[in-house]
Structure 1
Amino acid sequence: MARRGRLSRGCQTCRKRKIKCDQILPACTQCRKSGWVCPGYADIVERMFQYHNQQVDSTISIVKLGKARVDEVKVVKRLSKRVSAGTVGKISSLSLSLSEISLPQGIAQPLNDRAIDYFLSTHALRDKGEIRGYYEYLFTLPITTWPETSTCLTAAALAAWGNACHSAEMLKEARTFYGRSLRLVNAALADPVRAPETSTMISILLLNSFEALMSDCLESMSYSDGHMRGVMMIMSLKGPSLMESREGVQVFLHMCRCLITYCIMRPVEVPAEVVGLRKYAVRFLDTRDPAWMMEEVMIRLAKFRAEVEAGGLVESDEIIDTALRLDDELSQLTSGLHRYGQFDTIATLDADTSLPGYHRAYPDMWHVYIRNYTRTCRLILHSIIQDELESHSASLLCKGHNLRSQSRLKSQELIGNICASILQYCENMRQSPSHSVI
């Protein structure tokens, strides 16, 4: 039968005589005084288990369920003496509804967490020693404790995964988080204390990634100007103190890259403050790093585009010569990347003839970033060359009739290589029936 009340810890003799047992080892006082052999103390855990049939089990389960509901009400009443009436209502409704919840068979990860996992795997590098400045600091800084940063990360992550899944519902949710992010970041920028904090800097970078992921063209990046102004404001406020820690140097490099890219696309010259801070950062970095050398060329490219746009350079010969010289530097830089890791060329059986017909699988995300940054810059340079040749064709016969066709072919090749860039996420990519290694 079901046991009621608390189990006695005394010896069997004292329990039968219904007297108090002092449980002294090796024998209790009551047994020693009476001259009896003390039987000792049984394992209380072992005594808790009873043998009973299925009918008794069912009865006990029903009794326990009813008692549990009564106990829940008692807990709520005790809590009501300590908290307000409004809070009691919430606790009561939650407590009384617990028994009605149907627990799933497995644990399902929330959508936002899955999106963040995807974003970190496709847009952030792991910190492996070299300072890259590609979101690797997201793995080491307490992002979840910063409300504005975690909200911005969720927005960017939902945008990235929504694009990958072609999910309109997920992209809608991303825009909702983006609206919240803007309010939080604007509030932080308006506060002189919070504006220069690391959380604010990272939040702006994540918002900039959201813009890039959700925008179809440069004109649709409506908030990009504001984000870059926020980056420049923080750089001006903090100056060299940005680089007081490893994460600070990583964030600084990331901000520089975003600013340089923004200046090329607008086009405007890279601010002198940024160039000065890069000179200060040399003491922490290896200037032979391909990313550093690429950004040095990108700074000159931004200046070149700004001069052409403003009319500082008007001679077509000079414009084309400068563009070809910068293109050659970027081409040599790309060729030098082979010593940092090889890629596999994988043929694809795509029905769309506009696709290149192959993939280039790189072993590391960093290789994809560097190569595609250089390819994009070269595309801009070849676009300038073609524009000059088309608008001044009569005066540029000395350049040769083949320059225009060569530039167009090079542009097509660069676009194909950008579209074909993938990562070696899994080995079964090589064994897929739709791919074959060349």
Structure 2
Amino acid sequence: MVYRGKPSTGCKKCRQRKIKCDERPGGCLKCSDRGYNCPGYDDPLDRLFQNESARVESKAKKANEKAIELRSEREFKIQSRKAIIKIQDAIGSPLLCPLIDQGIAFFMMNYTIGLDQPPLQSVSYNRHLASHGFHPVIANAMTALGLSGIGNIYNDFNYQREASRWYLKALKMTNDALASPTEAKSDNTLLATMLLSNFEATSNGTSLAGFLNHINGSSTLLCLRGKQQFATPAGRRMYMQTVGVLTMMQMGRGDPLPDYVHRLNQESAKYEDMNDPGDQFYHLQIETIDFRAQIIHEEITDLYAILEKALAIDVKGQRILDALREAWCYESVRVEPNTPSVFGDTYHIYPSLDAAQKWNWVRYNLIYIHDVIRNTLLMGFSSRPPVFTGERFARLLQESTEMLYDMQYGILASIPQHLYDTPKSFSEITLPTVTSPDKPRYFWSNFNETPAGDKPNMEVQDRLPIVRISGGYSSMWALYIAGATPIASPESQEYILTSFKRIKAEFGINQAQVLAGMLRLRMQLDASGLIPMAIAPRYIPFGQHLDPEEVEST
């Protein structure tokens, strides 16, 4: 209670009007003259003291809200200034420059390893000066992907919105190019579809539908382009990159590679170096996917035949592993058990992103094969009478199971370097890695890269960026397979789900969220006993096919 001093004895109406009241009994004259109904007079004793708690509390609450608002405004201005500096550092140019400049600058700094371009004095070099020397459809796709990368990493809605707008422009230009018999066969159009698929991987966190649609479009263009596409370095490179992503899609569907890929591979082989582990792996994965499709479609059912074919493919895979050990050696680092961000007691350090990707490509393909070997043996042992008997087959089962765990462990050991939980090189080993909090981090940037360069080439007719394979995201697929293989433990799956969550949060790669959702669904189905035993297991939990409609429905 608060003492208010001697109160006024006038009526409430006069006090509200702030005029002197004559205090006539029964009602004052001031109210009567105005035609008011005089409210009467309060007891002076009741007005000597007044409970001010509610008013004081309300006043304090308003003052606190105002202080919070002012503090938030100051913090927002500080964070905005920091964000502007970060983004300017990321794109290498001021934010006042046009969006196309910002998007292309970010794209070239982070999504490419080099540039194919014609000689400076050629007509081709100066054909598209208005769009930084790139064909407009490429420039629009690069801008969309670059702005999306900025928006996702810095969680900036404005950049994400602008990225979507440029994506729609690039999509329309790509569709217009597809309607032209000449433009549809150009390197620019194929690269545009590849960049659009990378945009979906970066920005779409709810579905694989858009990503798969663009992969379908790219693969259709391979058939349309025919043998002529191998005339340029860019054409040969994009062909192998597209087929590589197509094999992942066909694995999910359980279908073989299209016939036209096998026909075109005969022409592609003329330009390959079969001593290169990358070229060897390219053919291994095609053979593996086609073999799995034969099993799934019951074109081959004899357990002995399946086992012998799988063992023959495994021999080829082991040869590639041996070649990788010589050409792309990595370092294994032992740590204490339960070290944060490390699964088990070992992590790997790779000399480059290319090396890490190639190792993981071979690993998940050997998981494909050894899942087939192990399941074939288990079915043979459990049949009545047993199909397989004897020490040889028991030994094969043990070796195959050990290989599965080894390949899975190798994939998981490669993830800390992607997530900045290791240094770039063996000589700098420290856990955790110390990095500047203001420096942008990307899924691929904790590797010592060897740029492909941008030397002028007389064969090149268009200025084309040399894009990282699968946008640099292919290790995410290896991570998913490591969690979807039947031998995966709950602990390894939990590590994988945590890694996907970090990839989404720290690097803005929204497809990690989709893959995490797929893995959770598979884990739920497996726990419910709804995933049947199969020689060639279905890693994707969508019935018989990996189609955009089925992916969308999840």
What's 1:355 paired with? Answer: 343
What's 2:474 paired with? Answer: none
Using the TM superposition, give the Cα deviation of residue 202 of structure 1 relative to its aligned residue in structure 2, in angstroms.
Answer: 0.3
> Secondary structure, in 3 states, of the residue corresponding to 2:349?
strand
What's 2:197 paired with? Answer: 208
Please give the residue correspondences for 1:7-406 in structure 2 after superposition, counting only pairs within 5 Å: 108=94, 120=108, 123-126=111-114, 137=116, 144=132, 145-159=134-148, 165=153, 167=155, 169=157, 174-214=163-203, 220-346=207-333, 351-352=339-340, 355-388=343-376, 394-395=382-383, 398=389, 399-400=393-394, 402=398, 405-406=401-402
1:415 partner letter: I
Using the TM superposition, give the Cα deviation of residue 361 of structure 1 relative to its aligned residue in structure 2, in angstroms.
Answer: 2.4
- Which whole-Å CA distance do the structure 2 matches of 1:211 and 1:138 have between them? 27
Q: Deviations over 1:362-391 (max 9, x none)?
A: 222321221121112122233444555666
- Which whole-Å CA distance do the structure 1 matches of 2:292 and 2:264 have between them? 22
Is residue 137–residue 174 contact of structure 2 (8 Å, CA) maintained in 1?
Answer: yes
- Which whole-Å CA distance do the structure 1 matches of 2:118 and 2:358 have between them? 21
- Which whole-Å CA distance do the structure 2 matches of 1:405 and 1:428 have between them? 30
Q: 1:386 to 1:272 in 2, by over 3 A?
A: same
1:190 partner letter: A
**TM-score normalised over the length of structure 1:** 0.60
Is residue 125–residue 366 contact of structure 1 (8 Å, CA) maintained in 2?
Answer: no
- Which whole-Å CA distance do the structure 2 matches of 1:394 and 1:166 have between them? 54
Q: 1:416 to 1:272 in 2, by over 3 A?
A: same
What's 1:59 paired with? Answer: none
Q: Deviations over 1:160-206 (max 9, x none)?
A: 5666x373746665445434433332222123232112111101111
**TM-score normalised over the length of structure 2:** 0.49
What's 1:434 paired with? Answer: 432
2:313 partner letter: L
What's 1:74 paired with? Answer: none
Using the TM superposition, give the Cα deviation of residue 279 of structure 1 relative to its aligned residue in structure 2, in angstroms.
Answer: 1.8
- Which whole-Å CA distance do the structure 2 matches of 1:296 and 1:187 have between them? 34
Q: 1:359 to 1:151 in 2, by over 3 A?
A: farther
- Which whole-Å CA distance do the structure 1 matches of 2:316 and 2:106 have between them? 35
Using the TM superposition, give the Cα deviation of residue 307 of structure 1 relative to its aligned residue in structure 2, in angstroms.
Answer: 0.8
> Secondary structure, in 3 states, of the residue corresponding to 2:348?
strand
What's 1:97 paired with? Answer: none
Q: CA RMSD in A?
A: 4.0
Q: 1:312 to 1:426 in 2, by over 3 A?
A: closer
Consecutive unaligned residues of structure 2, counting only runs of 5 or more, are 1-83, 120-124, 435-554
Higher relative contact order, chain-length normalized (CA < 8 Å, sep 6+): 2
> Secondary structure, in 3 states, of the residue corresponding to 1:345?
strand
- Which whole-Å CA distance do the structure 2 matches of 1:348 and 1:113 have between them? 44
Is residue 350–residue 356 contact of structure 2 (8 Å, CA) maintained in 1?
Answer: yes
Using the TM superposition, give the Cα deviation of residue 300 of structure 1 relative to its aligned residue in structure 2, in angstroms.
Answer: 0.8
> Secondary structure, in 3 states, of the residue corresponding to 1:125?
strand
Q: Deviations over 1:308-327 (max 9, x none)?
A: 12111223443344334323
Using the TM superposition, give the Cα deviation of residue 137 of structure 1 relative to its aligned residue in structure 2, in angstroms.
Answer: 4.0
- Which whole-Å CA distance do the structure 2 matches of 1:237 and 1:175 have between them? 29
Q: 1:367 to 1:211 in 2, by over 3 A?
A: same
Is residue 360–residue 417 contact of structure 1 (8 Å, CA) maintained in 2?
Answer: yes
> Secondary structure, in 3 states, of the residue corresponding to 1:223?
helix
Using the TM superposition, give the Cα deviation of residue 428 of structure 1 relative to its aligned residue in structure 2, in angstroms.
Answer: 10
What's 1:416 paired with? Answer: 412
1:419 partner letter: I
Q: Report the structure, 1 or 2, having the larger helix content.
A: 1
Consecutive unaligned residues of structure 1, counting only runs of 5 or more, are 1-103, 127-135
